[in-house]
Amino acid sequence: MAKKNYQAMAKGIVEKAGGEGNVASATHCMTRLRLVLRDTAKFDIDGVKAVPGVLNVIIQNGEYQIVIGQDVPDLYAEIQKFEGIKAGGTVEDAEAAAKDLAQDHGSVVNGILSFIGGTFSPVIPVLVAGGLTGAVLSLLTSVFGVPTDSGTYTVFYAINQATFYFLPVFIGFAAANRLKSNGFLGAFLGAILLYSTINGAEGLDFFGIPIQTITYNSTVFPVILGVLFMSVIYKFLQKYVPVFLKTIFVPLLTMLITVPVTLIVLGPIGNTAGTLLANGVYAIYQAVPPLAVMIIGITTPLMVFFGMNNATYPVVFALIAAVNSDPLICTGMAPANVAVGGACLAAALLAKNVEEKSVSISAGVTALCGITEPGVYGVLFPKTYPLVGAMIGGGIGGLLAGLLGMTQYVISTPGFISLPAYIDPNGSSYNLIVSLVVMIVAVVLAFAATWLLGKRAEAKRS
């Protein structure tokens, strides 16, 4: 497998993006380098795609997302060396460029999905670490006999519980940053909602106006709505408050206005929306579990391609809050993700070009671990038949998962590397065994379908 030259990649991408002066800001997520440009007309999309190591380019609401793979931090480190590029931040030109591009090429639905995905994507590492710690706790108690009143258990339990108890703080920070507002004020709003006199408080009122009792640590919708409102107030005050008063009065007035409105209006709306969403989705699952999970298994590669996969996280949180596990979204994505791995590995065997083999093998191994962007953009869609193979494997795997009642107990990137997420906290090994069988079936079927379809495609070409 050829080693990437990240310095050359960075140079090539910046050059084809219109030069150092045209890149207003640069950030990255798990697999993509994200650029905001000052002049979008200078971006040579075909030229960027031709840079060795680049898998694809996606344009979403003002961002040029360059798909690299899990090694994107190595490329980002080289991008940071360009002195004229604002790394990890924003400038006014960047915000203007983002708005212009969103108006030209975006839509309301696309904007909402982009916002939700961009909010949850930075929080994924926290969710994975904290969620899988719950599986570690199950192993410690059921396999190694660690008592629940021991210091060891207490430490690991704190890691697991803090992840989800303080999730509104993380979401508040990420949402505010996504809206180009003040991330720390967003986190502050999350912290206020979790404070002991607010979270789950009964009989509370504000100047005589009753405040609904809500357990904020078990829902994410109130803080998201609160940050949306907060960002409007913050930007308004930033624009009209005199410069010499901004430092004191902008944050003060922002929170004095935002917190009561969130507690009285937005919090109850968000809580109700989350409850309705969980009940609705779970009702669909209960009606026809195999079909519901199969649909997720089939459509996951398409959701990844269109950037909709991270937008499903609110549904996952709602399900876990309602039934203590996710029998639908992550459960359907598990066979779908590893099926992408099987399809990529089959495509690698069929590939005659060394570079194609290298990309397919790398993408296949990564997909088996649960990260499918490199496979989706670099193998499935360019060749088409691996996409069909992956959808067949993921669909049948999802059908089997629904029939056998598979579920995922903690939030983690679905794939073989996250098998502990399927350990039943009650000590039963049934769900873990079923999950392993489902994913193996998905890989084998995706590999076989891709191999057969690929052979037929190659025969037609010749």
Alpha helices in 241-311 (DSSP H): 243-261, 267-287, 289-305
Residues 62, 97 contacting (CB under 8 angstroms): yes
3-state secondary structure of 271: helix
CA 246 and chain centroid, separation: 34
Query: Which structure tokens are listed for 339?
Result: 């099926």
The DSSP code sequence of 299-313 is HHHHHHHTT-GGGGH
Distance CA(44)–CA(40), nearest Å, equals: 9
- Out of 29, 330, 344, 369, pick the active-site residue: 29
311 alpha carbon, distance to own chain's centre: 7
| Spatial distance between the Cα atoms of 299 and 442, rounded to a whole number of angstroms | 14
- 3-state SS, one letter per residue, for 4-43: CCHHHHHHHHHHHCCCHHHEEEEEECCCEEEEEECCHHHC
CA 138 to chain centre: 25
Q: Residue 365: helix, strand or coil by DSSP?
A: helix
Does 29 participate in catalysis according to the annotation?
yes
Catalytically active residues, by annotation: 29
